Amino acid sequence: MAKKEKTKKDAQLIVRISKAERDAFVELCEELDTSAAREVRRFIRDFLIRHEDGDTAGETKAK
């Protein structure tokens, strides 16, 4: 299996959420053996894919 080329992470996104939400999210990520940053990056990648063709309704693309 070919290795996926890694991209340099050179930007930050600051998001304000409540401390309770942040703590619950971080705790759940730890329980699932992942990191909060990894899950936020995964959300952003998936979101961009879902909307890459100008889909503003949020529907997933047919595969």
Q: What is the mean pLDDT of residues 15-40?
A: 98
Distance of alpha carbon 51 from alpha carbon 28, whole angstroms: 27
pLDDT (0 to 100) of residue 58:
54
Q: What is the mean pLDDT of residues 29-37?
A: 98
Rounded mean pLDDT of the chain?
A: 87
- Whether the per-residue pLDDT at 25 is higher than 90: the answer is yes
The candidate with the shortest Cα–Cα distance to 47, out of 32, 33, 60, 36, is: 60
Radius of gyration of the chain (CA): 15
pLDDT (0 to 100) of residue 16:
97
Distance of alpha carbon 12 from alpha carbon 62, whole angstroms: 31
pTM: 0.71
pLDDT (0 to 100) of residue 63:
44
Cβ neighbours, 10 Å, residue 26: 13
